[in-house]
Amino acid sequence: MYSPKEYWSNLAHSRDSLDAAGFTPILHPLAPPWFNQFIDTLQFRAMRRALALGEVAPGARFLDVGCGTGRWVRRYEQLGFSPVGVDATIGMLRIARAHDTKGLLTTGLAQTLPFSDAAFDCLSDITVVQHIPYEFQTQAFREMVRVLKPGGRLILLEVIGRKVSSIEKDSHVFPRKPRDWINEVECCGASLIEWFGQEFLLADRLYVRLAQSLSGRKDNLVKQVQSTSPPPSVRKSISQRIHWRLRQITVPFSVWVEPALVRICPASFATHGMFVFSKKT
């Protein structure tokens, strides 16, 4: 049975998941480092937009839930906030310290945050709740809203897609449609300020879909986005190198055209949604 804590602990202790930036365990563990660098660039761009929408003031006490290897804790400090990171796994926090994360770090589950009520001005959840089974997601959001001050901001980045009706044994992604994510959070005592699509990656998604079609593999959008392993027909080393060489063309191009797609494409066409909420006063 899938356990989020066990899943992330295994990634933290896998030598294959280590990289200089600390991105591999928390983004796409099977992808080469350059791919995760591109994804991080897109996410940081979206985070700056979300912070502007939320009008988060400098010096704000900022909690990053599921902080992993500490990339957002480090960035929040650089941006002038007072960050705190919480993660379920000690292994991830050790990697965070090894990457010179100076902010306060502590262990804890999203469903039972180890903080008092109204302790933070802002809170981020970057692709965390999407890895928590559906039956525990509401409790996680309830805890996030609880530790925010009235009027505090909650910034949420999660994969968007049709809710999975039958969970496969090895599944670790539990998506929702944008309106479902919004309803879940608003039912816990927060109001949506705005949301926007994140990671359209059009050219790369078209290539991956084509490769899957040629291999006879049919995956839904969530699997296509979350999986970084090549289709079965290209798993041999030489074909795998070709697969990633091609993506070294499609991914940079996709990132280059991303700003235009954000303006002209429906937000729901993206692979993820960035949501900015305010706790009700």
Whether residue 228 sits in one domain with residue 191: no
Whether residue 244 sits in one domain with residue 109: no
Whether residue 176 sits in one domain with residue 135: yes
Model confidence over 30-46: pLDDT tens digits?
888 999 999 999 999 99
Per the structure, the count of domains in the chain is: 2
Half-sphere exposure of 174 (CA within 13 A, CB side): 20
Whether residue 163 sits in one domain with residue 70: yes
Whether residue 119 sits in one domain with residue 71: yes
Whether residue 217 sits in one domain with residue 88: no
As a whole number, mean pLDDT of residues 105-114 equals 96
pLDDT at 221 > cutoff 50: no
Whether residue 182 sits in one domain with residue 194: yes
CATH of the domain at 12: 3.40.50.150
As a whole number, mean pLDDT of residues 158-174 equals 77
Whether residue 125 sits in one domain with residue 115: yes
Model confidence over 66-80: pLDDT tens digits?
999 999 999 999 999
pLDDT at 165 > cutoff 80: no
Confidence of residue 5 (pLDDT cuts 50, 70, 90): confident
Whether residue 84 sits in one domain with residue 213: no
Whether residue 252 sits in one domain with residue 125: no
As a whole number, mean pLDDT of residues 176-202 equals 97
Give the mean pLDDT of the chain.
Answer: 88
Q: Show the domain range for 217.
A: 202-262
Whether residue 97 sits in one domain with residue 21: yes
Which pLDDT score is estimated for 15? Answer: 54
Whether residue 247 sits in one domain with residue 179: no
pLDDT at 9 > cutoff 50: yes
